[in-house]
C-alpha cells in the first residue's frame, strides 16, 4: 500500500484513464482534492479531446515524474483522409478538402514508412511548446504562426487498419516522448498528395504502464467518499518502487542504506554500472533513491527519497 505523505496525503503513482473533455491539469486538480495531497503532478500531457493513460505522481513520487516523462508512448485512434483542419484534428475548422476516394490501405501503409524510425518532426502550432515565453497554441489562437525548428523524434510503429468508411482508417502508433501524433497524420495526408486529420486519439500505454491498470477519476472519488475520515486507496496507488519498475534497479544491503540516505556516491560492485538511471532499493524493496552515472563514472545521487534525519 502506498505510504502516507509528509504533506498529509499519500505517496504513490496513480494511472488514470483520462476521459474526453478533461485537461491534464483538470485531472491533477481533481486528484488533489480526492487524495487530500497538495503535492500532485502529471507526466506527459494529453489534449482535452484525447483519452487514455495519464501518469499522476502523488507526494514524494512527484520528484520521480521526470524519469517517467521520456518513456515510449503507445496510441491508437482514427484518421480521416480528404481534408486538413486548423488544429490537425477534428476540433479544428476545415481549411482544405481533397479528392482521395481512391486511396487504399496498401498505398497508405506504404507511405507511413517515410514517417517511421528516427525522423525530424516540426511541432504543430497547436502545441504547448514555448517561443519567446509564449506557448504556441496561445499564438495560434491569436492568428499568429511562427517558424518552428524540426526536432528529432522516433516512431517505432505507424500501422493502419481499414474501417467501413473508405476515407477513415484506424491507426496504431508507438513513439518516443515528444512525438506529435496529429503531425504524423497531417504529414501522411500531404505525402499522399492530399490531406488528413486526426479524428480521435487514445493513449494505451506509457513506458511500463498500460490501460489494463488504469482507473477512472470516478473510481477514486467513490473510494474517497466511502472512507470519508481515512480513505483507503490500496490497489489504486502504486508505491514509489513500483512507479519506477521500468527502470534498472539495484538492491543494496544495510551497510549501503546510510550512504544512500546521505546522498553519497556508491562504490564497489555498483560503480561499473553503465546505465543512465538506476533505482536504488533497500533490503525490503523500498525505493530509497535514484542514482545516475556522474562525470566521474560513479553512481551519484539524483533524487533521495529517504534522506538522513527524515522519517
Grid cell at residue 268: 564497489
Mean pLDDT of 292-308: 79
Query: Is 47 a catalytic site residue?
Result: yes
Topology of domain 12-71+208-241, CATH: Pseudouridine synthase (3.30.2350)
Residue-wise pLDDT for 80-97, tens only, equals 999 999 989 999 899 999
Taking a C-beta distance cutoff of 8 angstroms, is the pair 179, 121 a contact? yes
All structural domains of the chain with their residue ranges: 12-71+208-241, 73-206, 247-304
Q: Radius of gyration over alpha carbons of the chain, in Å?
A: 22
CA–CA gap between residue 189 and residue 292 (Å, rounded): 42
Matching fold, domains 12-71+208-241 and 247-304: no
Q: Which CATH architecture has domain 247-304?
A: Roll (2.30)
Annotated active-site residue in 47, 78, 186, 187:
47
pLDDT in tens, 214-239: 999 988 888 888 765 566 777 789 99
The answer to whether 227 and 236 are in contact (CB under 8 A) is: no
Whether the pTM exceeds 0.85: the reply is yes
Question: Domain 73-206 sits in which CATH superfamily?
Answer: Pseudouridine synthase (3.30.2350.10)
Amino acid at each position: 500500500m502506498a505510504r502516507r505523505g509528509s504533506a498529509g496525503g499519500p505517496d504513490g503513482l496513480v494511472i488514470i484513464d483520462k476521459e474526453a473533455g478533461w485537461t491534464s491539469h483538470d485531472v491533477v486538480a481533481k486528484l488533489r482534492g480526492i487524495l487530500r495531497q497538495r503535492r500532485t503532478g502529471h507526466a506527459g500531457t494529453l489534449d482535452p479531446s484525447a483519452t487514455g493513460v495519464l501518469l499522476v505522481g502523488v507526494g514524494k513520487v512527484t520528484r520521480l515524474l521526470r524519469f517517467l516523462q521520456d518513456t515510449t508512448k503507445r496510441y491508437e485512434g482514427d484518421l480521416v483522409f480528404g481534408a486538413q483542419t486548423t488544429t490537425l484534428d477534428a476540433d479544428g475548422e476545415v481549411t482544405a478538402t481533397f479528392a482521395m476516394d481512391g486511396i487504399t490501405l496498401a498505398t497508405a501503409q506504404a507511405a507511413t514508412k517515410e514517417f517511421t524510425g528516427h525522423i525530424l518532426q516540426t511541432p504543430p502550432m497547436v502545441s504547448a511548446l514555448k517561443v519567446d515565453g509564449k506557448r504556441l497554441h496561445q499564438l495560434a489562437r491569436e492568428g499568429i504562426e511562427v517558424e518552428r525548428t524540426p526536432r528529432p523524434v522516433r516512431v517505432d510503429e505507424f500501422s493502419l487498419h481499414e474501417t467501413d468508411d473508405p476515407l477513415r482508417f484506424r491507426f496504431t502508433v508507438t513513439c518516443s516522448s515528444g512525438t506529435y501524433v496529429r503531425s504524423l497524420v497531417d504529414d501522411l495526408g500531404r505525402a499522399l498528395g492530399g490531406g488528413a486529420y486526426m479524428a480521435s486519439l487514445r493513449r494505451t500505454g506509457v513506458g511500463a504502464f498500460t490501460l489494463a491498470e488504469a482507473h477512472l477519476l470516478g473510481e477514486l472519488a467513490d473510494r474517497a467518499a466511502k472512507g470519508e475520515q481515512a480513505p483507503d486507496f490500496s490497489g489504486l496507488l502504486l508505491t514509489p518502487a513500483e512507479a519506477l519498475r521500468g527502470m534498472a534497479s539495484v538492491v543494496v544491503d544495510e551497510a549501503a542504506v546510510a550512504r544512500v540516505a546521505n546522498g553519497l556516491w556508491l562504490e564497489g560492485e555498483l560503480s561499473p554500472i553503465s546505465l543512465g538511471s538506476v533505482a536504488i532499493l533497500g533490503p525490503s524493496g523500498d525505493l530509497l533513491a535514484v542514482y545516475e552515472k556522474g562525470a566521474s563514472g560513479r553512481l551519484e545521487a539524483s533524487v533521495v527519497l529517504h534522506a538522513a534525519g527524515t522519517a
